Amino acid sequence: MEKTRISKLMAERGLCSRREADSYIERGWVRVDGVVVAELGSKAYPDQQITLERPALQRQTARVTILLNKPVGYVSAQAEKGYRPAVSLIQAASRYRGDRAPLRFDPSHLRGLAPAGRLDIDSQGLLVLTQDGRVARQLIGDDSEVDKEYLVRVQGRIASDGLALLNHGLELDGKPLRRAQVEWLNRDQLRFVLHEGKKRQIRRMCELVGLKVVGLKRVRMGKVALGDLPQGQWRYLRKGERFA
């Protein structure tokens, strides 16, 4: 059995991101089998116990995750081509009045807040922004098992085997896609449930079977649904609320 960098093991176990792990190690907030580790690049065996000191746990507890109903016209991450980033909508005035989280909005909640998964500029719906590397890894890590649900309005005439191909059998960028769940809700709307998130995946999938997407809305990520959150408004992820 070979040793692995402790920061990598911590990320794989969902304790934090690798960047956060390095920060905690530098501060002496990480123990391996009860022994404090303070040297970056230190390694451990995969079966060793890794624990965090109280300051690291407190720092994680203070980090927020925000759910936003992103409108069309906003980009998920950095501003581009004159368009505003979705994070600019996170203001005290745009907080959902029905938010039951006990937190009071503070400008520090915007520090390091980043989208966990893209949502195209011409798409709307649930966008998760978080300060917590554990949440980001759970949603967009290579081994993520969190599914995402979308409502998709389309135009055009679908190929005879198009629905079957949308469920399984298409390739993008030379690689086969994971099995999806796709069904008609009415004559011009499809419901997609995906287990991956390639760039503009649904639009490209639809094009391959003769359809054009004219409206796309993400309504769920794992166990967290958009619900009645109004467009352009946001709320905090509540304590005890989990994506998986």
120 classed as catalytic: yes
- pTM, full prediction: 0.79
Which tens digit of pLDDT belongs to each residue from 13-56? 878 778 888 888 998 989 999 999 988 889 999 999 999 888 88
68, 136: one domain:
yes
Supply the pLDDT for residue 79: 63
Q: Is the predicted pLDDT of residue 80 greater than 70, yes or no?
A: no
Supply the pLDDT for residue 11: 80
What does the pLDDT average to over 202-212? 98
153, 213: one domain:
yes
136, 231: one domain:
yes
Higher pLDDT, 107 or 204: 204
Tell me what percent of the residues of the chain surpass a pLDDT of 70. 98
**Contact criterion met (CB below 8 Å) for 3 and 41:** no
* Structure-token pair, residue 207: 């094009």
Confidence of residue 61 (pLDDT cuts 50, 70, 90): low
Q: Is residue 242 part of a domain?
A: no
Q: Is residue 241 part of a domain?
A: no
CATH of the domain at 56: 3.10.290.10
Q: Is residue 159 part of a domain?
A: yes
How many CA atoms, within 13 angstroms, populate the side-chain half-sphere of residue 180?
Answer: 29
How many Cβ atoms from other residues are within 10 Å of residue 226's Cβ? Answer: 20
**Contact criterion met (CB below 8 Å) for 128 and 200:** no
Spatial separation of the C-alpha atoms in residues 197 and 233, rounded to whole Å: 24
Higher pLDDT, 202 or 114: 202
Which tens digit of pLDDT belongs to each residue from 83-123? 899 999 999 999 999 999 988 998 888 888 889 988 999 99
Task: Catalytic residue, from 22, 33, 47, 120: name it.
Answer: 120
CATH of the domain at 200: 3.30.70.1560
Domain that holds residue 108: 63-141+224-236
Residues 127-152, buried b or exposed e (16+ Cβ, 10 A)? bbbbbbbbbbbbbbbeebebbbbbbb
22, 89: one domain:
no
129, 229: one domain:
yes
135, 198: one domain:
no
Confidence of residue 60 (pLDDT cuts 50, 70, 90): low
Q: Is residue 19 part of a domain?
A: yes
Q: Is the predicted pLDDT of residue 57 greater than 80, yes or no?
A: no
Tally of domains in the chain: 3
**Contact criterion met (CB below 8 Å) for 31 and 50:** yes
**Contact criterion met (CB below 8 Å) for 17 and 56:** no
Average pLDDT over all residues of the chain = 91
Spatial separation of the C-alpha atoms in residues 22 and 42, rounded to whole Å: 10
